[in-house]
Structure 1
Amino acid sequence: MELTLEHVSKKYKENDVVKDVNVSLKPGVHALLGANGSGKTTLMRLICGLLKGEGSIHFDDIDASLEYENFASHIGYMPQNFGYYPHYTLKEFLDYMAIVKNLNKDYSEKRILSLVKELGLENQLNKKMKTLSGGMLRRVGIIQALLSEPEILILDEPTAGLDPKERIVFRNLIASLSQSTIILLSTHIVSDIESIADDILIMKEGEIIMHGIYEDLIKVIKGKVWEVLVPKQDASSLMKRYRVVKNHNQNNGVYMRIVSDLKPHDEAIAVIPDLDDLYLYYFVEEVAYD
């Protein structure tokens, strides 16, 4: 089972939003990381067939451009913001989504009850959608994407708004699906990526600039991450000259974690890099994840 993208591109007017993406994904969890405007959501919408672009997308021997309905039947998609009818109860909304997905009624009833229980929403079935919290709505979005037991699961910021306990439930659910499902998710929560991703795709200005497992990706910045404790009067100068991942005041100075090709301070010590460091190394001008 394999999802293959070849020369996938998308332009808006003269702007290349997605540029010549070539990637093959097999069952497992693939995390898509990039800054705001890097093209992540556009790429996901291209895969789902919600946007038309250049290039080809295949699921095994199914060509998405020639057999879209067949291709789409294998996909579950959770957009970053999904629409719903606010006056529907949760049960009515999920029943409606099951009809849209052309699911058998007996099957969908069992599937809905199983998923709402797994995601802790069984007590909300008769509540109107408009009364659900943001975290609950994210869980509803995940449930509707999973209704048809898709072989390809596309999740755009699935953990946004979830509290730590809800994120643990989500991670366990995704881990249970990863052996038999191709899962592509975007998230700005590094702990989610480090906990569940089999590999990471880093997207910048519409291109996949890196793709690999966590351990291999951070090797790129080995020897480029430093920690140092400096007098308070020196901290401001370092912040202006270097990419500072973390800094906080201590009684005897300011602790700083810095990403730099060169040693930023005589007292700086090289440390083991992590995903935050990698992100800042490639997206120095960005202040937040998408």
Structure 2
Amino acid sequence: MLEILDLNKSFKKKEVLKEISISLKTGVYGLLGPNGAGKTTLIRCIVNLYDITKGNIRFQGIDVTNNNAFSKNIGYLPQKFGLFKELTVYDNLQYFAVLKKISKESMDTCIKESLKKVNLQDRVNNKVSTLSGGMVRRLGIAQAILGNPQIIIFDEPTAGLDPEERIRFKNLLSSIKEDKIIIISTHIVEDVETCCNKMIIMNDGKIFKMGNSEEIISIARGKVFEVKQGIGIDSNWYVEKTFFRNGEEFLRVLSNKKEGHKSLEPTIEDGYMCILKGI
């Protein structure tokens, strides 16, 4: 279990994270929130890139706050991931394997297994400079899972991936999630909708809600309506999107007041927006 207890993080006088407390058991968690919500700062505190201003982090009951030794249990793909472009794919992973203190005896096997899981085994001797953006992202995923860490954290892992690669990433999660804590940070609900056991919704440096898909969806039940375009917009409505049917334009709106319009079945995205907008 990974426990984050009353965590605060400030940069000078700016408080970025505020009294965050969550407990994570084995499973895949979607860390959702708009840009600037504090997701990346929270991740960097967990992986020990930032010192914590206040609070504690425990892993399996042991206090690992600001403990460099704890990082060997974590695989991490940052939002912006750099590699040595003039080195080969294999050499780059060998560099990360040394940093992770993977033994020489098992290093080659670990590297080849990671590359196979992200479908880059045929690029093992290619220089990174020859790879496409999507391949570089997949190589970043390979280094995160290298060495079979107990905690794996992906920050915007599908950025730059095409639809086929996104499906491959979801399949990869299914193959590696056994006995692991996996956190996927994103602002795209679709990225976590099909592959996460639970969702953690952040905004303004705080945890607003943690729950499974049905719990998030239930927050929007009775609050999603279809309104024909041209009807006056009420100040209580949050217009989520527009769509067309039979040549006519409609709005999908959220409201905590019964508006007398056609009610729609809520989605995870509806629940997410209700939480963020206080509906």
What TM-score do you get using the length of structure 1 for normalisation? 0.89
Match of 2:271 in 1: 278
Aligned to 1:21: 20
SS in 2 for 1:208: strand
Q: CA deviation at 1:240?
A: 7.5
Instruction: Provide the C-alpha distance between the structure 2 equivalents of 1:281 and 1:105, rounded to a whole number of angstroms.
Output: 51
Question: Is contact 1:224-1:259 (8 Å) kept?
Answer: yes
Separation in structure 2 between the aligned mates of residue 143 and residue 211 of structure 1, nearest angstrom:
28
Shift of 1:239: 8.5
Code of the aligned partner of 1:281: C
Q: Distance in 1 between matches of 2:234 and 2:99?
A: 53
Q: Is the 8 A contact 1:245 1:276 kept in 2?
A: no
Task: Give 1:39's aligned residue.
Answer: 38
> What's the counterpart of residue 209 of structure 1?
208
CA contact (8 A) 2:28 2:198 kept: yes
Change (3 A) 1:239 1:89: farther
Q: Is the 8 A contact 2:226 2:262 kept in 1?
A: yes
Q: Tell me the distance in 1 between the aligned counterparts of 2:213 and 2:84.
A: 40
Corresponding residue number in structure 2 for 1:288:
none
Q: 1:69 and 1:251, CA in 2 relative to 1: closer, same or farther beyond 3 A?
A: closer
Whether contact under 8 Å (2:27, 2:182) holds in the other structure is yes
RMSD across aligned positions (CA): 1.9
Change (3 A) 1:43 1:86: same
| Residue of 245, 252, 255 corresponding to 2:250 | 255
Identity of aligned residues (%): 39
1:243 maps onto 2:238 in alignment? yes
Alignment of 1:60-209 (within 5 A): 60-65=60-65, 68-209=67-208
What is the alpha-carbon distance in structure 2 between the residues aligned to residue 176 and residue 83 of structure 1?
A: 26
Residues 59-97 of structure 1, C-alpha deviation per residue, up to 9 Å, x if partnerless?
Answer: 11322137x243222111111112211211111111111
Q: Is the 8 A contact 2:209 2:275 kept in 1?
A: no
Deviations 1:150-204 (A, max 9, x none): 0011111111111222122211221222231011111233233111111000001
8 Å CA contact 1:63–1:71 kept in 2: the answer is no
Post-superposition CA distance 1:108-158 (Å, at most 9, x none): 211111221221112222222122222111111111011121001111111
1:155 corresponds to which letter in structure 2? F
Contact 2:219 2:274 in 1 (8 A): no
**Partner Cα distance (2:15, 2:174) in 1:** 34
Alpha-carbon distance in structure 1 between the residues aligned to 2:250 and 2:238? 14
Distance 1:139 1:239, change over 3 A: farther
Q: Is the 8 Å Cα contact of residues 208 and 275 (structure 2) preserved in structure 1? A: no
Q: C-alpha separation between the residues in 2 aligned to 1:247 and 1:239?
A: 16
Q: State TM-score, norm by structure 2.
A: 0.92
Q: Tell which deviates more after alignment, 217-226 or 255-264.
A: 255-264
Asked whether the equivalents of residues 39 and 202 of structure 2 are also in contact (C-alpha less than 8 Å), the reply is: yes
Which residue of structure 2 lines up, in the alignment, with residue 4 of structure 1? 3
The 8 Å contact of residues 48 and 68 in structure 2, kept in 1 or not, is answered as no
| Structure 2 unmatched runs, 5+ | none
SS state at 1:88 partner: coil
CA drift at 1:250: 4.1
Instruction: Identify which range, 12-21 or 149-158, moves more after superposition.
Output: 12-21
What stretches of structure 1 of length at least 5 have no aligned partner?
286-290
Write the distance in 2 (CA, Å) between the matches of 1:205 and 1:188.
14
- Partner of 1:141: helix, strand, or coil? helix
